[in-house]
Structure 1
Amino acid sequence: MNADFVYLLIGLALLLAVVLPHALRTVALSAPVVLLALGVLAGLLPLPDEVRISPVEDRAVLEHLTEFTVIISLMGVGLALDRPLSFRSWASFKRWGTTWRLLALAMPMSIAVAAWLGWWVLGLAPASAILFGAALAPTDPVLASDVQVEGPTTDAEDATEIDERDEVRFALTSEAGLNDALAFPFVHLAMLVVAATTLGEWGVKWVFMDLVEMTVVGVGVGAVVGWALAKAAFRSSRPSIRTAETGEPLLALAAVLLSYGAAEVVHGYGFLAVFVCAMTLRSMERSADYHALMHEVIERLERLLTLVVLLVLGVAISDGLLESLSWRGVTVGLLLILVVRPVTAWVALRVGPKPVDRVGDDHLGPRERLATAFFGIRGIGSIYYLAYATGREDFSDVDTLWSTTAFVIAVSVVLHGVTATPVMRWLDRHREAAAR
């Protein structure tokens, strides 16, 4: 890509990142919808070849751009969540029951069904079908901002009273923060299936290394880095190191890079490490204003990166990214968005007891379950998974994978972007009416 065009693209995205949130505040339309449309329109212009990005030819650029966008978003998600989580407390663990059901039940079912549809309907090879299911299963932490919690609560007099009061937003936010920990093992599974010839060659390795070891390492690294940074920021004996007192919010960006880099170096899941690091930072001095300062910086950077990626995706769509999309791909894509995710999530949310009703509205009624099941937004994470896997192994049907995934993302961005605001307002009205 031409360097001059990069400056132009970033400048345009930055301008839109400043203007769009306020311009669209009163309409049922999200900024990602507008940016994707602008990208599609820009792609129709006679742009020179050197400024266009192809997912196949420019895979490395796309991989690193989406990788950085996702880890920035995961830090923002972790800092935004108010509900504490401590594995030493069973009561705290149970308060996340909605999240565990979405992760342990809905997501594996979604991966399995999507992989089966990829194999049976699209005719993908087994490894490509598994990659297809893994890439399109996670709820995206980047594009789901309209249905996620807004940010950390820091104005409570008693830190023990800080908690989420909107179970729908909490469920979707926490799911988006954690489901990469389950998607990545299946991406690795697809890569192992490509290279192996028998089950014995990859089965044991996948279970013990990709599913268990890398997850444990990711959690451990994130917790250690988050604890060390929180201790330094809030309780260091040296005033110059206590960044919570100086109000320097760039510690959040340092936390992103340190936790992700450390986890990847020791072969753990970096995405999981970043989220755990953010949650650990958030757990110390939970009512401090410093958390809001860090979240604000991360949120603005995330918004800029998201708009850049969506502009690039829109241009690629106009430039022929959907050329390999067949009617079978359209059918599978619509089924994933309108049937597979809603049904699997709804079934998962029906399993087990309701969370304890401690704050009055922290449970999922029928309306809340439907909304939570519906908003399984697919997005930038899916692009990263495809770029990551196809750059390391020789998958078949790569053009079909990219075309169908791009179609699913585009439909999800538009459908969920248009419906998010009215649906959440509808739920708020019912919640307020019930409270009266």
Structure 2
Amino acid sequence: MSTTLWFILIGCLMLARGLAATTLAKLPVTSAIVYLGVGLALGPAFIGVFAVDPYAEAGILEVLTELAVLISLFSAGVKMPVPFSLARWAPSLRLAWLSMSISVGLMTAFGTLVLGLPLGAAVLLGAILAPTDPVLATDVQVRHAGDRDQLRFALTCEAGMNDGSAFPFVMLGLGLLGLHELGEFGWRWALLDVAWGTAGAVAIGIAGGAALARLGWALRGQDPKHEVLDDLVGLGLIAVVYGVSVWLHAWGFLAVFFAGVALRQTELVLAGVPKDRHGLLKAPVTAHAASHSAAGHGAPAGTGSAAPAPAPSPQPEAGAPQPAEAPLTVSGESLIFKEHLERLSELTLVLLLGGAVTAQAWDWRAWSTALFLFALARPLSVYLGLARSTVRGRVRGISAWFGVRGIGSVYYLMYAINHGLPQPLARDLIDITLVVIMLSIAVHGISVKPLFDRFWRD
């Protein structure tokens, strides 16, 4: 398809999405399902107006998915409750590391025993499909920086961290295939890819976010007032933190998420924002953010889908003192712009996914992998990971179901292809991965509204 037709197609979808926002919000499906339906209808599986070959276009697809994940991870980090509490974060830490590792192990066993893949390819497939997605999972994630919902927090925090915690398993799979140096008895992988890659990323992210928060606060405190271009500064922080992390062989995805966390937490502490009855800082909402939240009430930011709205906040008593005007912060002012970029990346990449799947990809291997992942690997890994934790009942059950796979999995796959994955094996993993992602978009997108409606109603 020519560039001109691509402009027309993307433009029409953007116009439809923007003009029909209210209508789409009332539908019992997510906007990603709509984009996917258009891509499938116009792609090689049906009409054949356009086609995308992920193997041939692995270079550009890696860059596009990388950018989408980075923006989404930063937005997720900015929305985390303040201040940091180990007790509050413990379930998410378990989900992001323990549950994800269990899921990789289960998928590895399935890949070798059922799909007949080599061990390295099975580990790689597990690493590609185990982490949840920060781009397409916004329907079940924290909507804004003041969201106190435990379920949304757990899923958002998990998606923010496991895109980095999955990388050591990607490198392990590539190493077992002879495409990455693991060291004798795996010492290099354990020390560099696991220990340093993780700890270094967290340290770089926290240092970068906290430093920018203090610099921005100092500049805004000058007299005369110093203007800060928050959107540009936020993007600059993402680029610098990610670049430094990759340069130092740490996991950049993890660093960007923690940069967003540290930026928001440091800014609110510097602003002296008071705590609520739960001991959390009352995250201020700017005028732009407030109008954006009100306009999107009933639909999570960045999706326009039909996820239910949380219970309304109690109204202040008559005569009660009104809160002071929220101070300007880089994190708060740049968040809306990042969410707009998330919408654009979701539309474009899901459309491309629809054009990348052929009819031949829908074989028993892809269907069985999706069924095993959704019905066994994800639920079992979540229940084992959260055993003896404070998360119980419906929160644990819904967390076990909503493990949305998406753009992050495409990135890992393109990364592996660009690191020398043999073409026949790459083709097999492409077919399985894309079908699993599309089924995840469908089944999780259709079930999000009824399940969450019931969760908040009860």
CA contact (8 A) 2:181 2:188 kept: no
The correspondence for 2:420, drawn from 390, 393, 401, is 393
The correspondence for 1:189, drawn from 169, 172, 175, is 172
The question of 1:352 aligning with 2:388 is answered yes
| Structure 1 residues 304 and 109, CA gap change in structure 2 (3 angstroms) | same
Q: What corresponds to 2:377 in structure 1?
A: 340
Q: What corresponds to 2:336 in structure 1?
A: 296
CA contact (8 A) 1:131 1:187 kept: yes
CA contact (8 A) 1:250 1:297 kept: no
Residues 166-185 of structure 1 mapped to structure 2, 5 A cutoff: 166-185=149-168
Q: Deviations over 1:303-352 (max 9, x none)?
A: 110110000111122xx2x5244313311221101221012212322x22
Work out the CA distance in 1 between the residues paired with 2:87 and 2:20. Answer: 38
Q: What corresponds to 2:262 in structure 1?
A: 280
Q: Deviations over 1:203-236 (max 9, x none)?
A: 1110001111121221122122212211122223
Quote how far apart the aligned CAs of 1:23 are.
Answer: 2.1
Work out the CA distance in 2 between the residues paired with 1:347 and 1:240. Answer: 55
CA contact (8 A) 1:21 1:31 kept: no
Q: What corresponds to 1:360 in structure 2?
A: none
Work out the CA distance in 2 between the residues paired with 1:262 and 1:302. Answer: 23
| Structure 1 residues 369 and 31, CA gap change in structure 2 (3 angstroms) | same
Residues 37-436 of structure 1 mapped to structure 2, 5 A cutoff: 37-43=37-43, 44-47=46-49, 52-85=51-84, 92-153=85-146, 164-195=147-178, 201=184, 203-236=186-219, 239=222, 248-286=230-268, 287-288=283-284, 289=286, 290=329, 291-317=331-357, 320=358, 323-349=360-386, 351-354=387-390, 364-395=391-422, 397-430=425-458
Quote how far apart the aligned CAs of 1:202 are.
Answer: 6.2
Give the residue type in structure 1 aligned to 2:38. Answer: L
CA contact (8 A) 2:365 2:432 kept: no
Residues 17-28 of structure 1 mapped to structure 2, 5 A cutoff: 17-19=17-19, 21-28=21-28
| Structure 1 residues 10 and 222, CA gap change in structure 2 (3 angstroms) | farther
CA contact (8 A) 2:76 2:160 kept: yes
Give the residue type in structure 2 aligned to 1:129. Answer: A
Quote how far apart the aligned CAs of 1:137 are.
Answer: 0.2
CA contact (8 A) 2:61 2:414 kept: yes
Work out the CA distance in 1 between the residues paired with 2:38 and 2:224. Answer: 44
Quote how far apart the aligned CAs of 1:152 are.
Answer: 1.2
Q: Which moved more, 1:95-104 or 1:324-333?
A: 324-333
CA contact (8 A) 1:13 1:304 kept: no
TM-score (norm 2): 0.81
Work out the CA distance in 2 between the residues paired with 1:197 and 1:250. Answer: 36
Q: Deviations over 1:112-146 (max 9, x none)?
A: 01111111111111111111000000011111111
Work out the CA distance in 1 between the residues paired with 2:205 and 2:117. Answer: 36
- How many residues are treated as equivalent by the alignment? 397
Work out the CA distance in 1 between the residues paired with 2:239 and 2:17. Answer: 23
What is the SS of the residue equivalent to 1:122? Answer: coil
CA contact (8 A) 1:192 1:202 kept: no
| Structure 1 residues 371 and 237, CA gap change in structure 2 (3 angstroms) | closer
Q: What corresponds to 1:357 in structure 2?
A: none
CA contact (8 A) 1:17 1:303 kept: no
Work out the CA distance in 1 between the residues paired with 2:228 and 2:116. Answer: 58
Work out the CA distance in 1 between the residues paired with 2:339 and 2:255. Answer: 19
Q: Deviations over 1:135-182 (max 9, x none)?
A: 0000111111111111112xxxxxxxxxx5311111100000001121
| Structure 1 residues 240 and 372, CA gap change in structure 2 (3 angstroms) | farther
CA contact (8 A) 1:69 1:302 kept: yes
CA contact (8 A) 1:135 1:386 kept: yes
TM-score (norm 1): 0.85
Q: Deviations over 1:9-55 (max 9, x none)?
A: 442443244245432212221000111001111213353xxx53211
Quote how far apart the aligned CAs of 1:107 are.
Answer: 0.9
Task: Give me the identity figure in percent.
Answer: 35
The gaps in structure 2 that reach 5 residues or longer are 269-282, 287-328
Quote how far apart the aligned CAs of 1:373 are.
Answer: 0.8
CA contact (8 A) 2:104 2:126 kept: yes
Work out the CA distance in 1 between the residues paired with 2:188 and 2:128. Answer: 21
CA contact (8 A) 1:147 1:172 kept: yes
What is the SS of the residue equivalent to 1:233? Answer: helix
Work out the CA distance in 1 between the residues paired with 2:244 and 2:223. Answer: 25
Work out the CA distance in 1 between the residues paired with 2:180 and 2:71. Answer: 37
Quote how far apart the aligned CAs of 1:200 are.
Answer: 5.3
* C-alpha RMSD of matched pairs (Å): 2.3
